[in-house]
Chain A
Amino acid sequence: MAQDDAIEARSSRKVYGTGPEAVVALDDVSIAIRKGEFFTLLGPSGCGKTTLLRMIAGFETPTAGQILLNGRDITDAPPNLRPVNTVFQSYALFPHLSVRRNVGFGLQMLGRPASEIDQKVERALAMVRLGEMADRKPTQLSGGQQQRVALARALAPSPEVLLLDEPLSALDLKLRKEMQSELKRLQHELGITFIFVTHDQEEALTMSDRIGVMSAGRLLQVGSPREIYNHPVNRFVADFIGETNFLPAEVSGGVATIAGGIAIPVDAGSPEGAHTIAIRPEHVRILPQDAGAAMRGTIAETTYFGTDSHVRLRLDGGADLVARYQSDTAGGEAPPTGAEVGVSFTPGAVQVLED
């Protein structure tokens, strides 16, 4: 264990229920989250994100394994003895208390003097720009305002780790974008470790220092957004993060051979044998037929998306591909359906997947 890990989960396992109805929500998850990091847990619904977060908060006891905070084993500590606060997806604001008293609740329970509570509540409310709303009840606030109260309430006691379970999923797109940058700003200012849960890959990519991708109770890959996007370890990660073309290929000596005998250069260290190769649509370039491209294909369908078009095309070897055609940089309209075109891949963008 490194000294600069805020939270560490060691071989954590969680099974709900017993016998034939048992659900394995987390299957042997080990993860280390660094101090001051914005860490995102990303994965489809039901993959165990909330379960992992609840184990860190102390609401669930792992069936096996340990949870460590700053290197100290907190597996059996109750939530009120962990310097970890949660922003709940449902906000869970106390309806009988004013915004001010909601935000001051944690400090009050810690037995802090009134003057300190007042001062810290003021600061937390200013941080989320809700100073004027302090005396309202939560029901008198809009969804976005309630969300910010929940954030201020979790931040006011200055926790070491802040857990956020899909806090933005109930907000509309514009407000969500706003809150995303606000969260990022707060995390920067306060230097608190954020563990953020989402199933929105775009949100994960734009906000995180590192991302952990989960599926069916397992942690598949941990890495920076760039690493995860450009070097997904397997087909699931590649598919979940952004759009990807998958092509079966035979790899040997730094060359992947796909249907129709087309040879594509890949990383020399790539695994050999029968594998799937992945290529992002934006790395598929559509060229004029006479541009001397290595591959040729026919346009099957073009969908216009504003700044760019999604083009489905069939390579002459029989493989189907999706390409992103950027109208402004490539100049002019995407080629019409049925057009014969040349195709090339951005060098180094083709990824050989392990499975």
Chain B
Amino acid sequence: MSAREDGQARRDARNTWLLSAPALFILTFAAAGPLLIMLVYSFLTPGDYGNVVWKFSTDAWVGTVLSKDIFDGTYSLADAHLTIFWRSVKLSLITTFFTFIVGFPTAWIIATRSPRMRTALLFLITIPFWTNLLIRTFAINQIIRNEGLLNTFLLYLGVIDEPLLIIYSDFAVFLGMTYVYLPLMVLPLFAAIDRFDMRLIEAAYDLYASRWQVLRRVILPIVRPGIVAGSILVFIPALGAYVTPRILGGGRNMMIGNFIELQFGQGRNWPLGAALSVLLLVIVAVALVFYVRITSRESSNG
């Protein structure tokens, strides 16, 4: 190799670094940085009025799953924490599932309309994003609360004698999250179905597949990337949801997001809040790996 080529190669390498510097900078300071701070804080001691004291401690991490008896100092499982974790995972899974059940036919209908109709429908799907999440959630609150629209209407019709107790329950949280996250499921599903070659349905139907088999064997495996993307887009924010459980779940039906907020606020236990945040991240990462593994295995068999 000549000296000139050598110099060229070195210049190329330097240019590559220079060009990727902005992205690296953002990644370091916007993503890795805060995470690192969280990780460090989770190993410190809480200060009396919030903040942290720079003294190493694993108490926060122990405290995520165990609680210490204030009298005899023995440890037992922190039932309250586990209940919150379990509720978060459960509600997020159910929400993801139902947004898919509702979102798939919706996306299908949109994708199979004429181009003009399709643009109009897609536009309608994005309209909720124009309004602040907080306001939308309060709107749902207004509809489902005991003296809300739904109950007033049903009472007026005489369908029920007493108001339905929907508000401040897990069900209310599920309802709110399904409404809020539905567009995040519909849009990637639409993109996948839009690319789907409808002629394959006829081919499968011609080869003796029943309607159900056409869906199961041809449509679902081919639009799988859209299902995966939609599920991830719904599941992750649902798991960390804060506003919806706060307004529709009341104080009792907390999710991880509310619980973390509590530690940084009234709880004055920043290390525990930090440890819980990191734990949430780990749960999401593990769930993702599992999910992608399972769905890709299914498609290679199917």
Residues of B within 8 A of A57 (CB): 206
Residues of B within 8 A of A85 (CB): 206-207
- Taking a contact as CB atoms under 8 Å apart, the answer to whether A94 and B302 are in contact is no
Q: Which residue of A lies closest to B208 (CB)?
A: A109
Residues of B within 8 A of A80 (CB): 205-210
Residues of A within 8 A of B203 (CB): 86, 88, 92-94
Quick one: which of B208-250 are within 8 Å of A by CB? 208-210, 213, 217-218, 221-222
- Taking a contact as CB atoms under 8 Å apart, the answer to whether B204 and A95 are in contact is no
User: How far does the alpha carbon of A90 sit from the alpha carbon of B218 in the complex, in Å?
Assistant: 17
User: How far does the alpha carbon of A88 sit from the alpha carbon of B222 in the complex, in Å?
Assistant: 19
Chain B residues within 8 Å of A, Cβ to Cβ: 197, 199-200, 202-210, 213, 217-218, 221-222, 299, 302
- Rounded to whole Å, the gap between the CB of B172 and the closest CB of chain A is 40
User: How far does the alpha carbon of A80 sit from the alpha carbon of B203 in the complex, in Å?
Assistant: 10
User: How far does the alpha carbon of A109 sit from the alpha carbon of B217 in the complex, in Å?
Assistant: 10
Quick one: which of A30-64 are within 8 Å of B by CB? 57-59
- Taking a contact as CB atoms under 8 Å apart, the answer to whether A92 and B202 are in contact is yes
Q: Name the residue in B202, B210, B213 with the highest tally of chain A Cβ atoms < 10 Å from its Cβ.
A: B202
- Taking a contact as CB atoms under 8 Å apart, the answer to whether A94 and B218 are in contact is yes
- Taking a contact as CB atoms under 8 Å apart, the answer to whether B210 and A92 are in contact is no
Q: Which residue of A lies closest to B209 (CB)?
A: A109
User: How far does the alpha carbon of A86 sit from the alpha carbon of B200 in the complex, in Å?
Assistant: 12
A80-B206, A88-B203, A110-B208 provided; 16 other pairs, C-beta below 8 A? A57-B206, A58-B206, A80-B210, A86-B202, A86-B203, A86-B206, A88-B199, A90-B197, A90-B199, A92-B200, A92-B202, A94-B200, A95-B222, A105-B209, A109-B207, A109-B213
- Taking a contact as CB atoms under 8 Å apart, the answer to whether B202 and A96 are in contact is no
A-B contact pairs, 25 of them (CB 8 A): A59-B206, A79-B202, A79-B205, A80-B205, A80-B206, A80-B208, A80-B209, A80-B210, A85-B206, A85-B207, A86-B203, A88-B203, A92-B199, A92-B200, A92-B203, A94-B204, A94-B218, A96-B299, A105-B209, A109-B204, A109-B209, A109-B217, A110-B208, A153-B207, A157-B208
- Rounded to whole Å, the gap between the CB of A54 and the closest CB of chain B is 9
Give the dominant DSSP class at B's interface: helix
Q: Which residue of A lies closest to B299 (CB)?
A: A96
Known: A59-B202, A109-B213. A92 touches B197 (CB 8 A): yes
Q: Name the residue in B200, B299, B302 with the highest tally of chain A Cβ atoms < 10 Å from its Cβ.
A: B200
- Taking a contact as CB atoms under 8 Å apart, the answer to whether A96 and B222 are in contact is yes
We find that the number of chain A residues with CB closer than 8 angstroms to chain B is 23
- Taking a contact as CB atoms under 8 Å apart, the answer to whether B222 and A105 are in contact is no
Q: Which residue of B lies closest to A110 (CB)?
A: B208
Residues of A within 8 A of B217 (CB): 105, 109
User: How far does the alpha carbon of A118 sit from the alpha carbon of B273 in the complex, in Å?
Assistant: 58
Q: Which residue of A lies closest to B200 (CB)?
A: A92
- Taking a contact as CB atoms under 8 Å apart, the answer to whether A96 and B209 are in contact is no
Residues of A within 8 A of B209 (CB): 80, 105, 109
Known: A88-B199, A90-B199, A109-B213. A96 touches B208 (CB 8 A): no
Say whether A336 faces chain B, with CB atoms less than 8 Å apart: no
Residues of B within 8 A of A106 (CB): 207-208
Say whether A78 faces chain B, with CB atoms less than 8 Å apart: yes
Q: Which residue of A lies closest to B197 (CB)?
A: A92
User: How far does the alpha carbon of A57 sit from the alpha carbon of B205 in the complex, in Å?
Assistant: 10
Known: A96-B221, A96-B299. A157 touches B207 (CB 8 A): yes
Q: Which of B197, B204, B299 contacts A105 (CB 8 A)?
A: B204
List 9 tightest A-B contacts by C-beta distance, closest first: A106-B207, A92-B203, A109-B208, A109-B209, A92-B199, A79-B205, A80-B208, A96-B221, A79-B206
Residues of B within 8 A of A93 (CB): 203
Residues of A within 8 A of B200 (CB): 92, 94
- Rounded to whole Å, the gap between the CB of A193 and the closest CB of chain B is 16
User: How far does the alpha carbon of A153 sit from the alpha carbon of B200 in the complex, in Å?
Assistant: 13
User: How far does the alpha carbon of A78 sit from the alpha carbon of B207 in the complex, in Å?
Assistant: 11
Residues of B within 8 A of A79 (CB): 202, 205-206
User: How far does the alpha carbon of A59 sit from the alpha carbon of B203 in the complex, in Å?
Assistant: 10
Residues of A within 8 A of B210 (CB): 80, 109
- Rounded to whole Å, the gap between the CB of A155 and the closest CB of chain B is 11
User: How far does the alpha carbon of A95 sit from the alpha carbon of B213 in the complex, in Å?
Assistant: 16
Residues of B within 8 A of A86 (CB): 202-203, 206
- Rounded to whole Å, the gap between the CB of B28 and the closest CB of chain A is 39
Residues of B within 8 A of A109 (CB): 204, 207-210, 213, 217
Q: Which residue of A lies closest to B207 (CB)?
A: A106
Residues of B within 8 A of A84 (CB): 206
Quick one: which of A63-101 are within 8 Å of B by CB? 78-80, 84-86, 88, 90, 92-96
Q: Which residue of B lies closest to A98 (CB)?
A: B300
Residues of A within 8 A of B197 (CB): 90, 92
- Rounded to whole Å, the gap between the CB of B217 and the closest CB of chain A is 8
User: How far does the alpha carbon of A179 sit from the alpha carbon of B149 in the complex, in Å?
Assistant: 69
User: How far does the alpha carbon of A85 sit from the alpha carbon of B202 in the complex, in Å?
Assistant: 11
Quick one: which of A95-137 are within 8 Å of B by CB? 95-96, 105-106, 109-110
Q: Which residue of B lies closest to A150 (CB)?
A: B203
User: How far does the alpha carbon of A157 sit from the alpha carbon of B203 in the complex, in Å?
Assistant: 13
Residues of B within 8 A of A105 (CB): 204, 207, 209, 217
User: How far does the alpha carbon of A92 sit from the alpha carbon of B213 in the complex, in Å?
Assistant: 17
User: How far does the alpha carbon of A88 sit from the alpha carbon of B209 in the complex, in Å?
Assistant: 16
Q: Name the residue in A57, A106, A109 with the highest tally of chain B Cβ atoms < 10 Å from its Cβ.
A: A109
Residues of A within 8 A of B221 (CB): 96
Q: Name the residue in A85, A88, A92, A95 with the highest tally of chain B Cβ atoms < 10 Å from its Cβ.
A: A92
Q: Which residue of B lies closest to A163 (CB)?
A: B206
User: How far does the alpha carbon of A80 sit from the alpha carbon of B222 in the complex, in Å?
Assistant: 21
Q: Name the residue in B202, B208, B210, B299 with the highest tally of chain A Cβ atoms < 10 Å from its Cβ.
A: B208
User: How far does the alpha carbon of A110 sit from the alpha carbon of B204 in the complex, in Å?
Assistant: 12
